Amino acid sequence: MFGCNLEHRATSVSQLLLGFNVLMLQADSLHVVRSNKAVLNDISFTVQRGEVYALLGGNGAGKSTTLLSFLGFLLPSQGRVLVKDKDVGADVMAARRAISYLPESASLYEHLNAIENLQYFLGLAGVDVTLGDMDTVLDRVSLAPDARKRNLRDYSKGMRQKVAIALAMLRNSDILLLDEPTSGLDPNAIDELHRIIRGLADAGKAILMVTHDVYGACQVADRIGLLHSGNLVGEFVAQGDDRIDTNAVHTAFASKANSSSLLSNPPSSNPQLSKV
């Protein structure tokens, strides 16, 4: 733990030296309507270079919608989203070029091996990388060399996630959008993934991840935004070398989750709610 703090302190110094306080992602009074229903209401937040921002929320809170807005798949009905200070709506392709996106349960092609998947997706993006580069990055994400020539259908979920992370790293974009990156992973794989995410942020990437894993978000994020029913209801910021307090976030998250579950019950079966 002590070692971790030292490392973090050193990184903070390097961030200052590299001028990390640059806005990479910005949601500005973002409203999104889907099927005549508001799914995001007046959301505003920013993500800077070298920062991990975690959007935390339950199912249907609007987390993935936020990511899709930055990728230009959903355009705001009001407000705007900016990637590197440019409105996404004005140039979707420029926004997508700046972003590496890791969808939930990253489904790469199962009939291809790790190297072939990387070659295909990087070719699609128009990124030239050598086999050596790929091996280096796969080493960094700790994918065993003997696994790299096996088709992905033989991989565990954690191994697939590593390949997807490797893809995001090899694209060398300034921004990473991660949708539930730890979903379905075992604790060791989660720790390893957090280490990788933290390392990428320390190397200057701006990372926006959405998750409902309170502990994981606190472990890796510099800031946490709490999303509830399309509203950003709170924000937690790591102070100095200290990580965000898990208990505080958990309490806030649970209270929102409980109020949500109360609201989801019909009044007749829940006398407390009818009193409210």
By the 8 A CB rule, do 214 and 241 touch? no
Residue 267 touches another protein, criterion: CB under 8 A? no
112 makes contact with another protein (CB under 8 A): yes
Residue among 173, 164, 78 nearest 117 (CA): 164
Figure out which of the listed residues 8, 31, 86, 97 binds another protein, where binding follows CB under 8 A: 97
Structure-token pair, residue 231: 């509203």
User: How far from 126 is each of 19, 118, 165, 173, CA to CA, in Å?
Assistant: 29, 12, 18, 12
Please state, in angstroms and rounded to a whole number, the distance separating the CA atoms of residues 212 and 226: 10
131 CB neighbour count, 10 Å cutoff: 11
Residue 125 makes contact with another protein by CB under 8 A: yes
How are beta strands 223-228 and 231-237 bridged, if at all?
A: antiparallel
Angle at alpha carbon of residue 80, lines to 77 and 86, rounded to 5°: 140
Rounded to whole angstroms, the Cα distance separating 181 from 232 reads 21
Q: Which is nearer to another protein, 23 or 112 (CB)?
A: 112
- For residue 39, which amino acid is it? V
96 is a contact residue toward another protein (CB under 8 A): yes
> Residue 120 interacts with another protein (CB under 8 A)?
yes
Shortest distance in whole angstroms from residue 160 CB to another protein: 11
| Residue 109 vs 276, nearer CB to another protein | 109
Q: Give the total of residues touching another protein (CB under 8 A).
A: 26
State how far the Cα of 224 lies from the Cα of 52, in Å rounded to an integer. 9
Q: Residue 86 interacts with another protein (CB under 8 A)?
A: no
What is the per-residue binding string for another protein in 168-207, x denoting contact by CB under 8 A?
---x------------------------------------
Q: Could you say whether residue 152 binds another protein (CB under 8 A)?
A: no
Q: Is residue 130 a contact residue for another protein (CB under 8 A)?
A: no
Calpha distance 198→216 (Å, rounded): 12
- Which of 11, 46, 73, 250 binds another protein (CB under 8 A)? It is 73
Site for another protein in 205-264 (CB under 8 A): none
Per CB under 8 A, 123 contacts another protein: yes
Tokens representing residue 69 in the block: 């807005």
Q: Footprint of another protein on this chain (CB under 8 A)? A: 68, 71, 73, 96-97, 99, 101-109, 111-112, 116, 119-121, 123-126, 171
